[in-house]
Amino acid sequence: MRYKITQTQLHNLVYKYLDDMFEGMTPNKEINPYNSSAYEMRLGEKISYFYYGPGEYDDDTKHYGIGYLHVHPDIVDTLRQLFNIRETRVVDIVADWFSDKFEVDVDEISIYPKREKPPVY
């Protein structure tokens, strides 16, 4: 049986699920030794956040401040199956949750590590 829910209800359900999944965990924040405005935050082995502060990096890449979020495929697949929503929607909601919970900007999102096999829905 399927039920229609609002966007707000979906966000609330996913936020609650993620809060429960990571209850009591605080991200381990490590400053980049080569650029003090860059850092990494890990929430267990399932979510990683990388912030590259404004400046020029060793590979001549210029950043104006950008945050990358890597979400483990297990989280994406579980939420995809549980709430029957598309993968891109799941990663957007996870990014919103992470951004709201830890007060950081998420500019880029990826599923990492890559899946060995395609997901089955």
| Pairing state between β 108-111 and 66-71 | parallel
Alpha carbon of 3 to those of 6, 7, 18, 76, 87: distances in Å?
Answer: 10, 13, 21, 21, 19
Taking the C-alpha atoms of residue 70 and residue 108, their distance in angstroms, rounded to an integer, is: 9
Boundaries of every domain in the chain: 7-111
Region 40-45: mean pLDDT is: 95
pTM of model > 0.75: yes
Q: What is the DSSP letter of 65?
A: S
Is the pLDDT reported for residue 33 higher than 90? no
Note the pLDDT tens digit of each residue in 100-115.
999 999 999 999 998 8
User: Encoding tokens for residue 32?
Assistant: 């980049």
